[in-house]
């Protein structure tokens, strides 16, 4: 039979057979078998085999001993292991500020740091700032000035505001400080700049500012 006598159907059948002969040997024996489910083929490594490390953290004044996957963020350690769900997971990329907590008195985005990096450090979450019967002044001011709507960003806003006022007391300047050598003053521009890392999708910024200004004035 000459080349011109080969039909299109015969050519396609021959090509398919050749491809099958090439692909079949690439299948690893014991992995792709008749009773293997798609889920079994794609299943991740068992959690029990992942590397873990013991971490000791002081959370809201109480020492917590944890054994964590080395990749666990501080945010996930708080939420998933200690069930302190007041600290919110928003963007999980350090852009919204919903996960702000106080680390040794300084505000930090808990989603951007690993728990294992903070051995023996002290962490204060929104649950540790005050209690329902004894609110932190910043918590009380947010309620008085209606500084929230949906409330999802509120724990991070409050922790960030407390940390921000600590920075001012320590004479730490910011990008809009007119004189880096002078004592910082909580001007509207300073407040907006210092709180710019905390996003409120509801737009309660003016009420948030009023709450912060009240607390700053009472603490002056």
Rounded Cα–Cα distance for residues 166 and 5 (Å):
88
Please report where in the chains the tokens 């050749």 appear, as a residue.
Answer: 18
Identify the pLDDT of residue 6: 61
Letter string b/e over residues 91-112, b meaning 16 or more CB atoms within 10 A of that residue's CB: eeebebbbbbbbbeeebbbbbe
% residues pLDDT > 70 (the chain): 78
The answer for residues whose C-beta is within 8 angstroms of residue 71's C-beta and 6 or more apart is 114
Question: For residue 29, what pLDDT band results from cuts at 50, 70 and 90?
Answer: very low
Domain that holds residue 130: 50-219
Residues 6+ apart with CB under 8 A from 190: 168, 174, 176, 177, 184
pLDDT at residue number 178: 84
Residue pair 75/118 in contact (Cβ under 8 Å)? The answer is no
pLDDT at 181: 87
Total domains, the chain: 1
Q: How far apart are CA 169 and CA 171, in angstroms?
A: 5
pLDDT of residue 26: 47
Residue 113 in domain: yes
Q: What per-residue confidence (pLDDT) applies to 50?
A: 74
Residue 29 phi, psi (nearest 5): -60, 140
Q: What would the two tokens of residue 54 be?
A: 């013991």
Inside any domain, residue 115: yes
What is the C-alpha separation between 18 and 10, in angstroms, rounded?
12
Q: Count of residues for the chain?
A: 220
What lies within 8 Å, CB to CB, of 148 at 6+ separation is 142, 154, 157, 200, 202, 204, 207, 208
16 confidence band (pLDDT: 50, 70, 90): low
Is residue 1, in this structure, part of any structural domain at all? no
Which residue has 């300047």 as its token pair?
173
**Residue 85's CATH number:** 1.10.150.120
Summary mean pLDDT of the chain: 87
Which residue spans within 83-190 are E strands per DSSP?
100-103, 106-109, 122-124
Asked whether the predicted pLDDT for residue 32 surpasses 50, the reply is no
| Tally of CB atoms within 10 A around 198 | 24
Q: What is the pTM of this model?
A: 0.76
What's phi and psi for 40, nearest 5 deg?
-65, -35
For residues 204 and 208, give the distance between their C-alpha atoms in angstroms, rounded to a whole number.
Answer: 6
The whole-number pLDDT of residue 171 equals 93
**pLDDT > 90: what percent of the chain?**
69
Tens of pLDDT, residue by residue over 115-135, are 999 999 999 999 999 999 999
Average pLDDT of span 67-73: 97
Position 23 in a domain: no
Q: How far is CA 87 from CA 68, 70, 152, 183, in A?
A: 19, 20, 9, 31
Residue 37 domain flag: no
Assigned domain for 99 exists: yes
* Residue 188 pLDDT: 92
Q: Does any domain span residue 173? A: yes
| pLDDT exceeds cutoff 70 at 4 | no
């Amino acid at each position: 039979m000459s080349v011109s006598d080969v039909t299109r159907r015969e050519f396609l059948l021959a090509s398919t057979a050749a491809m099958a002969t090439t692909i079949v040997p690439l299948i690893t024996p014991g992995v792709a078998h008749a009773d293997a489910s798609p889920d079994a083929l794609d299943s991740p490594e068992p959690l029990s085999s992942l590397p873990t490390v013991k971490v000791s953290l002081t959370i809201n004044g109480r020492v917590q001993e944890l054994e964590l996957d080395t990749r666990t963020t501080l945010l996930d350690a708080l939420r998933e292991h200690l069930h302190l769900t007041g600290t919110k997971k928003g963007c999980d990329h350090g852009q919204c500020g919903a996960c702000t907590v106080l680390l040794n008195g300084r505000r930090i985005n808990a989603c951007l740091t690993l728990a294992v990096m903070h051995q023996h450090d002290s962490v204060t979450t929104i649950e540790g700032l005050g209690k329902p019967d004894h609110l932190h002044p910043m918590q009380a001011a947010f309620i008085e000035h209606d500084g929230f709507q949906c409330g999802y960003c509120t724990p991070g806003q409050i922790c960030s505001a407390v940390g921000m006022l600590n920075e001012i007391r320590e004479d730490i300047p910011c990008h809009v400080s007119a004189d880096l050598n002078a004592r910082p003053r909580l001007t509207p521009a300073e407040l907006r700049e210092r709180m710019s890392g905390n996003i409120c999708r509801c737009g309660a910024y003016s009420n948030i500012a009023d709450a912060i200004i009240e607390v700053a004035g009472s603490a002056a």
